[in-house]
């Protein structure tokens, strides 16, 4: 089994191109991780997720621990076997969804107790239990339990949550000791939109020492400028030889701008969620397929897409499927979006490797700014 390693192949400005090696294979960075909330990428076969270019997918600890249960998945051979995805998997800690999905939660130094949204039972999640659950799932990249708070928030509240997350980081590290080779635990920088708290959090985590670092607590409704500023403040504090993961982000433009600031990994439900709501992403920017202008348009969404579904189906057909609420419409658009996201990452990786990231970023943004191809007369 290979050790967990990160190799930086090239840098271009602050943008980085590298490779994370895990027990289940290599992740080319910058990497986008499709989200498989409940051991499934919504509406897309894993074979298509892989074919689109994904090296790694994300699983949600909160959902999986409640249903079907981490112990059950472990008895069934772990999450890779369970969902037939033999490639790398990252699992989150469960903390974010405890905050956003469950009622009646009680948070203290020890951890968080919440009521399951599925069957109403009370469930406890501590740093140690979060690591245990992720170990049971067998994920390649395990995330520390942290406390995410919504922005804006008072500084004292941000600081309290950040310090609690730091203490939980140390407990997670102890709990993760002795894990099999090829797996890694990432620490998560918190600190809201406060520069000093972000720097303090990042430095303290680096002192504890992790094989990778995430920037958490973003993608919670703040403006893009705030998010990019937090990256600019945080990334320089993180070691150059470890991967950096921006959690829950984002739009294609977010990815481009975050990579330009030194981020290596991303996850977001946007490509599949948008796909279920008739929104397609292409090199021309977002396209609302339900819009009447597509109703009789025989042209594909993007004739130059590497994704067959974006090339062979007419806009009129995709429009019809979404209007008729056909599952196939959700399936095709989710696949098209995942493929576009991966295509964008591949473009960034190649551009960084060849020292032309700035030009790639400009050209990509210019194509988005020109917008979708005009409707036919």
- Helix or strand (DSSP H, E) at 37: none
Q: Which is nearer to a copy of itself, 137 or 214 (CB)?
A: 137
Other residues' Cβ atoms within 10 Å of the Cβ of residue 160: 14
Are the C-beta atoms of 244 and 214 separated by less than 8 Å? yes
Written as six digits, the tokens of 40 are 């499934």
As measured in angstroms, the least distance from the Cβ of 42 to a copy of itself is 6
Q: Which is nearer to a copy of itself, 16 or 276 (CB)?
A: 276
Q: Which is nearer to a copy of itself, 241 or 326 (CB)?
A: 326
Instruction: Let me know if 3 is a catalytic residue.
Output: no
Catalytic residue among 92, 194, 254, 302: 92
Q: Which is nearer to a copy of itself, 77 or 209 (CB)?
A: 77
Are the C-beta atoms of 258 and 228 separated by less than 8 Å? yes
Give the residues across from 213 on adjacent strands. Answer: 187, 244
As measured in angstroms, the least distance from the Cβ of 37 to a copy of itself is 9
Characterize 227-253 residue by residue with b for buried, 16 or more Cβ atoms within 10 angstroms of its Cβ, and e for exposed: bbbbbebbbebbeeebbbbbbbbbbbe
Instruction: Let me know if 302 is a catalytic residue.
Output: no
As measured in angstroms, the least distance from the Cβ of 343 to a copy of itself is 20
Task: Report the distance separating Cα 290 and Cα 317, nearest Å.
Answer: 11
Catalytic residue among 55, 146, 267, 302: 267
Task: Report the distance separating Cα 364 and Cα 369, nearest Å.
Answer: 9
Are the C-beta atoms of 270 and 251 separated by less than 8 Å? yes
Q: Which is nearer to a copy of itself, 238 or 321 (CB)?
A: 321
As measured in angstroms, the least distance from the Cβ of 56 to a copy of itself is 18
As measured in angstroms, the least distance from the Cβ of 179 to a copy of itself is 24
Tell me which residues touch a copy of itself (CB under 8 A). Answer: 38-45, 63, 67-68, 72, 75-77, 82-84, 295-296, 298, 312-314, 316-317, 319-321, 323-324, 326-331
Residues forming the active site = 92, 267
């Amino acid at each position: 089994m290979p050790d967990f390693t990160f190799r930086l192949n090239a840098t271009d400005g602050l943008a980085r191109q590298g490779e994370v090696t895990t027990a289940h294979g290599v992740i080319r960075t910058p990497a986008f991780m499709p989200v498989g909330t409940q051991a499934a990428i919504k509406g897309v076969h894993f074979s298509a997720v892989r074919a689109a270019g994904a090296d790694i997918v994300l699983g949600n600890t909160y959902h999986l621990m409640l249903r079907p249960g981490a112990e059950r998945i472990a008895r069934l051979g772990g999450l890779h076997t369970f969902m037939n995805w033999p490639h790398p998997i990252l699992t989150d800690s469960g903390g974010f969804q405890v905050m956003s999905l469950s009622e009646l939660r009680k948070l203290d130094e020890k951890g968080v107790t919440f009521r399951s949204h599925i069957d109403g039972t009370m469930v406890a999640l501590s740093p140690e239990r979060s690591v245990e659950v992720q170990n049971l799932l067998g994920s390649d990249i395990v995330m520390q339990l942290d406390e995410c708070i919504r922005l804006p928030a008072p500084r004292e509240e941000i600081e309290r949550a950040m310090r609690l997350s730091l203490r939980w980081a140390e407990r997670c590290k102890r709990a993760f000791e002795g894990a099999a080779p090829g797996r890694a635990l990432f620490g998560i920088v918190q600190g809201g939109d406060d520069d000093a708290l972000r720097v303090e959090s990042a430095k303290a985590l680096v002192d504890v020492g992790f094989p990778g670092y995430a920037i958490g607590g973003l993608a919670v409704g703040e403006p893009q400028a705030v998010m990019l500023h937090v990256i600019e403040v945080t990334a320089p504090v993180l070691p150059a030889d470890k991967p950096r993961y921006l959690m829950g982000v984002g739009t294609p433009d977010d990815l481009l701008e975050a990579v330009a600031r030194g981020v290596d990994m991303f996850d977001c439900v946007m490509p599949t969620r948008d796909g279920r709501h008739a929104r397609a992403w292409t090199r021309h920017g977002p396209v609302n397929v339900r819009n009447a202008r597509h109703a009789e348009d025989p042209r594909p969404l993007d004739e130059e897409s590497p994704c067959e579904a974006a090339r062979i189906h007419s806009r009129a057909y995709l429009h019809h499927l979404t209007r008729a609420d056909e599952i196939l419409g959700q399936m095709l658009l989710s696949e098209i979006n995942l493929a576009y996201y991966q295509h964008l990452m591949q473009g960034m990786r190649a551009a960084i490797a060849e020292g032309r990231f700035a030009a790639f970023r400009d050209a990509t943004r210019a194509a988005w700014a020109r917008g979708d191809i005009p409707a036919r007369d």
